[in-house]
Amino acid sequence: MGKPYRGGKIHKKKRIRRTAEDFVLPGAVGVKVPGNQPGDFETALRKFKKLVKETGIIYEVKSRREYVKPTTKKRAQKKSAIRTNLKNLREGGDFN
């Protein structure tokens, strides 16, 4: 389990700082929801969504749905760079 939170603002209740390891079940596919208070599930769900977003799992799954040729990737990247530079020029910025 996580260690008690020792810093920052002073809370009336003792606050436990949760880490990613607190939500993972060892040797199984799933998520452990700590605590049994009514608001704990929403908190755990919010933290789970944040962890999934930070690791980029959803982005990777979506990008692997279909094969994209390297030339197509390069073309899209170049198009995006041109669009970004044009936007910067319109806003009065420079190329860098």
Residue 76 pLDDT class (50, 70, 90 cuts): very high
Q: Report the distance separating Cα 19 and Cα 32, nearest Å.
A: 12
pLDDT at 4: 59
Share of the chain above pLDDT 70, in %: 59
Buried b (16+ CB within 10 A) or exposed e, 55-89: eeeeeeeeeeeeeeeeeeeeeeeeeeeeeeeeeee
Say if residue 82's pLDDT is above 80: yes
pLDDT at 34: 64
Q: Tell me the pLDDT tens digit for each residue of 9-52.
A: 555 556 667 676 766 666 666 656 666 676 777 887 888 888 88
What is the maximal distance between C-alpha atoms in the chain? 58
Residue 75 pLDDT class (50, 70, 90 cuts): very high
